[in-house]
Amino acid sequence: YDVVKTMRASSLVLGPLVARMGRARVSMPGGCAIGARPINLHVNALEQLGATVEQTHGYVEASAPDGLRGANIHFDRITVTGTEDLLMAAVLARGETVIRNAAREPEVKDLADLLLKMGAKIEGAGTSIIRVQGVHRLHGTEHTIIPDRIEAGTFLLAGAISRGELIVSNCVPEHIAALVYKMQQSGAQIEEVGANALRVRCPRRSKSVDATTEEYPGFATDLQAQYMAWMTVAQGISFVTETIFENRFMHVLELARMGANIRIEGRQAIIAGEDHLMGAQVIASDLRASASLVLAALVAKGETIVDRVYHMDRGYEGMEEKLASVGAKIERFSD
């Protein structure tokens, strides 16, 4: 419980456990407090597959003693974890399952590729309609997980905001095409270097460019905070609109401590670019806010201290070490 409750992804074990074991009891998911992320989409989908699901005392309990059966599922809204959870349940359900309004994120396609290697029968992963023919069992396999597109995008923005040159290797350029397009509009020079690397150069001050978060293949909500940090020192006024989560501007007040000029109107942030930011002591509220404050600190005059940076460890491995290796003056310390 203590481990699972801290993860948004805890809900991902519900479907496969019910499919394999006939029952599951999982802690309600945690994760960043960036807005409402109910699991009713997971619950409704599993119930349509024949599971009985109850939510009691902080847990979700599901059972299907006679196994799951295929069904036609239409998600009311696009859900990445919901699509993944249902996909893992459906591969072991009897008959055919059709998932409509499915998430198209690369991570969904990658999960389907893994399941196919394990003996699953899946068509349409990466599109909005996925068809699954249930199988009796899966078998072991070997699989290499795709690179983290959000980490790659974060480091591209780090290179741009610092007006330097950076090569981001082991990435899939197609997965971050929406970000690359916005960055090129703003003046960053980005080119592919080999099959799985991007070089970013941004020798001059960038221009303000608007961005609106959308489901994939649109501009990723998980890059919104980092992009906003870049826009705080861009020339002109930009509008950043958040359509996925209703509480994902908590980094704005902390960026303002560093001299950023940002005004919030509903789900839109209006950013007037400043010539520079000033170092300050700031507090990270969530995973991507942590990254945005670190990026802002790279170009702020003076020293910046980012408190509660442990949020960042949930989405980045050794970020400070990687930045230090390319010239950033950054170190981690404990109170």
Confidence (pLDDT) at 35: 43
Q: Do 303 and 204 share a structural domain?
A: yes
Q: Which of 133, 158, 190 marks a domain boundary?
A: 133
Q: Do 312 and 181 share a structural domain?
A: yes
**Strand ordering across the sheet containing 237-241:** 211-212, 237-241, 268-272, 261-265
Q: Specify if 82 maps to a domain.
A: yes
The pTM for the full model equals: 0.92
Q: Do 204 and 79 share a structural domain?
A: no
Q: Specify if 40 maps to a domain.
A: yes
Q: Do 237 and 117 share a structural domain?
A: no
- Can you give the CATH number for the domain in which 182 is found? 3.65.10.10
Q: Do 320 and 181 share a structural domain?
A: yes
Which domain covers residue 124, as residue numbers? 4-133
Confidence (pLDDT) at 215: 96
Q: Which two tokens stand for residue 262?
A: 């940002």
Residues 6+ apart with CB under 8 A from 185: 207, 209
**pLDDT beneath 70, residues of the chain:** 1-8, 30-38
Q: Do 277 and 188 share a structural domain?
A: yes
Q: Do 301 and 172 share a structural domain?
A: yes
Q: Where are the alpha helices (DSSP H) in the chain?
A: 14-21, 40-48, 80-90, 106-117, 149-161, 177-186, 224-231, 251-257, 287-299, 319-325
248-294 pLDDT tens trace: 899 999 999 999 999 999 999 999 999 999 999 999 999 999 999 99
Q: Specify if 225 maps to a domain.
A: yes
Q: Do 278 and 157 share a structural domain?
A: yes
Confidence (pLDDT) at 34: 43
Tell me the HSE value of 234 on the side-chain side, using a 13 A CA sphere: 28
Structural domain count of the chain: 2
Confidence (pLDDT) at 330: 95
Q: Do 190 and 110 share a structural domain?
A: no
Q: Specify if 177 maps to a domain.
A: yes
Q: Specify if 332 maps to a domain.
A: no
Q: Do 213 and 120 share a structural domain?
A: no
Place of tokens 């509903």: 266
Strand partners, 27: 59
* Residues noted as catalytic: 32
